């Protein structure tokens, strides 16, 4: 696990920069990277997290076997961006329930820089709850989609999660006009 900077108390976790570009049509927001991800300095690094299998299924490409930089490039090429709703927080372990004193990401600021963005998907209940609150009033014209968490702590079969995540498909292909909708799991 990375050593916190001198001004960051032990137990404080800091997430990663957004992975987006001008092609981003769909932004997937998690809550805050878990310990395995922080240690690897990679989004969704825990080997049992289903994120790379779920998104690979959406874009028709095996992302699990790619090196991390190629995974990110494949997502960006498909119009998918990544970030988290929490930039930093105190947390012992990796569970969202242990998050304390969160500082929220400037989601509105990021969204304003993404000209082709049509939808924001929330990877899990904590991301949805915090992200919807953070985006209140700033997501006009965007579809907001709540997804079951890709985390292994969210004990649903991957096939069941994949059915819910399949709702993201039209935003990846670009066949959606971008009308605002709210979609819960």
| Of the candidates 141, 170, 150, the residue with the CA atom closest to the CA atom of residue 84 | 150
Number of Cα atoms under 13 Å in the Cβ half of residue 24? 26
CA 175 to chain centre: 21
| Of the candidates 79, 74, 67, 12, the residue with the CA atom closest to the CA atom of residue 42 | 67
**30 within 8 A of 49, measured Cβ to Cβ:** no
Catalytic residue among 24, 31, 37, 49: 49
| Of the candidates 162, 60, 161, 175, the residue with the CA atom closest to the CA atom of residue 119 | 175
Q: How far apart are CA 7 and CA 93, in angstroms?
A: 20
123 is a catalytic site residue: no
**147 within 8 A of 122, measured Cβ to Cβ:** yes
**For helices 68-77 and 51-59, what crossing angle results, to 10°?**
40
Active-site residue list? 49
């Amino acid at each position: 696990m990375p050593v916190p900077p001198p001004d960051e108390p032990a137990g404080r976790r800091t997430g990663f920069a957004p992975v987006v570009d001008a092609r981003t049509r769909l932004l997937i927001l998690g809550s805050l990277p878990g310990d395995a991800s922080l240690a690897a300095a990679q989004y969704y690094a825990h080997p049992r997290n289903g994120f790379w299998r779920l998104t690979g299924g959406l874009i028709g490409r095996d992302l699990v076997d790619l090196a991390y930089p190629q995974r990110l490039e494949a997502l960006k090429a498909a119009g998918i961006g990544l970030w988290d709703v929490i930039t930093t927080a105190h947390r012992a372990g990796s569970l969202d329930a242990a998050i304390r004193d969160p500082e929220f990401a400037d989601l509105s600021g990021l969204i304003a820089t993404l000209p082709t963005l049509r939808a924001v998907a929330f990877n899990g209940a904590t991301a949805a709850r915090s992200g919807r609150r953070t985006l209140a009033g700033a997501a006009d014209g965007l579809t907001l989609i709540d997804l079951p968490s890709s985390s292994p702590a969210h004990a649903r079969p991957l096939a069941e999660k994949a059915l819910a995540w399949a709702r993201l498909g039209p935003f990846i292909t670009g066949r959606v006009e971008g009308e605002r909708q709210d979609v819960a799991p």
